[in-house]
Amino acid sequence: MISWSIASVGTGWAFLINGVSFVAVLLSLSLLRTSALHANERAHRAKGSFTGGFRYVWKRPDLKAILVMLFLIGTFGLNFPIFISTMAVSVFHTDARGYGALSSIMASVCLRRKPSNEAFNLMFSMPVRS
């Protein structure tokens, strides 16, 4: 939604709209019943506990697969907004409005695409080993 507003009204107004959208969050935080919240005791920190956690995860194949996939998706999949903003400037020679329009077009194309049932069935029919 915000990329469509960048394309239609500009970055300043889009920033203002984004700021106003946080009013509901701030209102809900102010309505929290702090008397119902209870503080828990902090976990004991020992030297090497961070690396010990990684050693534990690395010994378990199921957790290791999740950690490796998280690394791969975070490294190669989540940098797409950086790539698309560079593409908007260097390939299409446009500004923030063009970037907003390009983001909106790409998002609408992703929403129209129907997922493959074969991939869905394959993903959920694989056996899980523990």
pLDDT digits (tens, 9 = 90+) for 24-53: 899 999 999 888 888 888 878 888 888 988
Write down the mean pLDDT value for the chain.
79
SS3 assignment, position 100: helix
b/e per residue, 19-58, with b = 16+ CB within 10 A? eeeeeeeeeeeeeeeeeeeeeeeeeeeeeeeeeeeeeeee
State residue 28's pLDDT score.
92
If one compares 122 and 35, the residue with the highest pLDDT of the two is 35
| Residue 123 confidence (pLDDT) above 50 | no
Side-chain half-sphere CA neighbours of 102 within 13 A: 19
Could you read off the pLDDT of 77-95 as tens digits, one per residue?
Answer: 777 778 888 888 888 888 8
State residue 130's pLDDT score.
41
Cα(66)–Cα(61) distance, integer angstroms = 9
State residue 31's pLDDT score.
92
| Residue 119 confidence (pLDDT) above 60 | no
SS3 assignment, position 116: coil
